[in-house]
Amino acid sequence: MWNRMPDDGPVMKKLSVVMPAFNEDRTIETSIQRIAELDLSALGLRLEIIVVDDGSTDRTNEIIRRLQERYPTILLISHEKNSGKGAAIKSAILRATGDILIVQDADLENDPNDIAACLRPIVEGRAGVVYGSRRLNKENKKRSRHSFFFLGGVAVTWTFNCLFLQHLTDEPTCYKTFRMDIIKSLKIEGNRFEWEPEVTAKLAKRGYRIFEVPISYFPRSVRDGKKLRWKDGIKAVWTIIRFRFRS
């Protein structure tokens, strides 16, 4: 629970939304707008949005700078060259000033209206880490039953559960939510998509329970701009194995 003074109303804590972006000029404006217009006051939270332009060569950077004039909560970090999602997350963590951090992709595969559900267990003191699970929402099965990426995520999750004796339903989910002191205590090594299984593995080895809540999922294809490839799935499995047996 957040601490509250008797007559002063809720103490407003801060949420840091971290949004890595690489050549997302088709969706970045809508993504930022939907985040910036979230009302989190019921949870006692105010907002900062940290957008990391990871070396985009399209209009992504231009759009973000324009939106900064409308939404003063936006902090833009620009990488000169594309370094990967993990590198973007690490840059954002260094600048984040919130009490909670959540990752939001810029591609609209996830619905920002689900963010409150990811935050609530942390705000209520029931969890320190929350993952939004696509598999816990039965509606997603209709949308993703032909998605190679979704099925690959099932395989990665199964591998993680077998090696770490866990019961997660969706390890590769975008909506990873952390109490800030927890995520800042982890030294993230991976610079690309492998940062995700690395962090999950390190949390498990430290004994943290990962709380899951159902979220919506609207998968996109490579043609639509998806950056993930089958090789990233292989790398994710290898990352899980490596951190399971590394002392």
Cβ contact 55:80 at 8 Å = yes
Q: Which residues in 172-242 belong to E strands, given as ranges?
A: 176-179, 210-214
**Residue 9: how many other CB atoms lie within 10 Å:** 9
**Which domain does 184 fall in, by range?**
13-245
What pLDDT, on the 0 to 100 scale, is given for residue 99?
97
Is 2 domain-assigned? no
What pLDDT, on the 0 to 100 scale, is given for residue 221?
54
Say if strands 100-103 and 45-54 run parallel, antiparallel, or are unpaired: unpaired
Q: Which H/E stretch holds residue 31?
A: helix 28-36
- Judged against a pLDDT cut of 50, whether residue 7 lies above it is answered with no
Q: Read off the CATH number of the domain in which 196 is found.
A: 3.90.550.10
Is 5 domain-assigned? no
What is the chain's alpha carbon radius of gyration, rounded to the nearest angstrom? Answer: 17
Cα 25 from chain centre: 19
Is 227 domain-assigned? yes
The pLDDT confidence band at residue 217, using thresholds 50, 70 and 90, is confident
- Judged against a pLDDT cut of 70, whether residue 148 lies above it is answered with no
**Residue 55: how many other CB atoms lie within 10 Å:** 19
Stretch 170-189: mean pLDDT: 95
Q: Which H/E stretch holds residue 87?
A: helix 85-95
Judge if pTM exceeds 0.75. Answer: yes
Is 1 domain-assigned? no
Q: Measured at the alpha carbon of residue 76, what is the angle toward residues 111 and 30, in degrees to the nearest 5? A: 30
Q: What is the pLDDT of residues 32-65, one digit of tens each?
A: 999 999 999 999 999 999 999 999 999 999 999 9
The pLDDT confidence band at residue 223, using thresholds 50, 70 and 90, is low
Q: Domain tally for the chain?
A: 1
Q: What is the pLDDT of residues 102-123, one digit of tens each?
A: 999 998 889 999 999 999 999 9
Residue entry with tokens 């209009």: 59
